[in-house]
Amino acid sequence: MKKVKVSIVIPAYNEEKVIRRCVESCVNQSVPPLEILVIDNKSKDSTKEIVQSLIKEYPDAGIKYLQQFDKQGLIPTRNFGLDQAKGDVIGRIDADTRLTKDWVKVLTETFSDPEVAAATGPVAYYDLPGGTSKPAMKADDVTRRLMLKLGRQYHFVFGSNMALRKTAWETIRSETCLDEEDLFHEDIDISIHLAQHGLKVAYNPLMRAGMSARRLEDKPKDFMNYVKRFSRTYNAHGIKNLGVRAPMVVFSAIYLPARTALIVSQKREARRIKANNIS
């Protein structure tokens, strides 16, 4: 059986606070990826310098710093990275994602099934109190399984923790929406086009990753506009299935308690840092 080679693509815009931990989680895999592509989209901070230092620190890890400066935006940056990837399977994560050490290994096992065109898995919010605990991971797993069931043929792939077979990307690439007005969820758009081609999306509970809860820092109005991206994406594709709107309900329900927990955690950390500096 042919060994599955995995590329990891990380779009980045002003990600100096999180990009090191993200890339290091890609480097420290039990099964190393073929390459780790960081696609810089006109960052104005030290993202470039941090990635270049990582390339020197890990010369054999296949880290590559690439620039997509033609257009501002996640989708053209994502597309550029997916097009550049050389692996049979392309992992697409966010700059604040932290992969568990067996993530690539799980991908190689998942995609050993030739019918699998894409895969996704659960996430843990590492900067929320208890966000990486077993109960929190179990709750996320149960919730995502429910959303997949309600979505029926429209199986979600989650942008912070997803992978595509290279051939699947080549099949849908020209059909995915450019979303120049920035109204949609780009990962949901990918999910829709995969479904339209009858391409299989696998959910693997062992394909675990961590992500930041920084989205919860948004004000209520901005957060609800983010949540409404689900409806806008499905409406634009003429999809009426109410089940695919399940994430809107979930994210709306968790916003206030999760935001409160995040703020409390941030204040506690700020007090700890201040106390250490004084001492």
State pLDDT tens for residues 205-258: 999 999 998 887 888 888 888 888 888 988 888 887 766 666 777 777 777 777
1 has a pLDDT exceeding 60: no
Q: What's the whole-number mean pLDDT along residues 88-97? A: 97
pLDDT at 273 over 80: no
Percentage, residues of the chain above pLDDT 90:
60
pLDDT for 6 equals: 98
Angle at 116 between CA 141 and CA 151, to 5 degrees: 50
For residue 139, the model assigns a pLDDT of 79
- Average pLDDT of the residues in 184-194: 93
Does pTM top 0.85 for this prediction? yes
Q: How far apart are CA 56 and CA 172, in angstroms?
A: 35
Q: Which two tokens stand for residue 214?
A: 């920084």
Q: What are phi and psi of 247, to 5 degrees?
A: -60, -30
Mean pLDDT of the chain: 89
Q: Which residues have C-beta within 8 Å of that of residue 147, sequence separation ≥ 6? A: 156, 246, 247, 250
Q: What percent of the chain has pLDDT over 70?
A: 95
CA angle 136, 116, 191 (to 5 degrees): 65
Mean pLDDT of 172-182: 93
Q: What is the pLDDT of residues 101-138, one digit of tens each?
A: 999 999 999 999 999 999 999 998 898 877 788 887 88
At 279 the pLDDT is: 60
What mean pLDDT comes out for the span 68-88? 97
The class level of CATH for 6-215 reads: alpha beta
Tell me which DSSP letter residue 73 carries. Answer: S
> Looking at 50-64, 66-80, 162-176, 255-269, which range is the least confident one?
255-269
pLDDT at 277 over 90: no
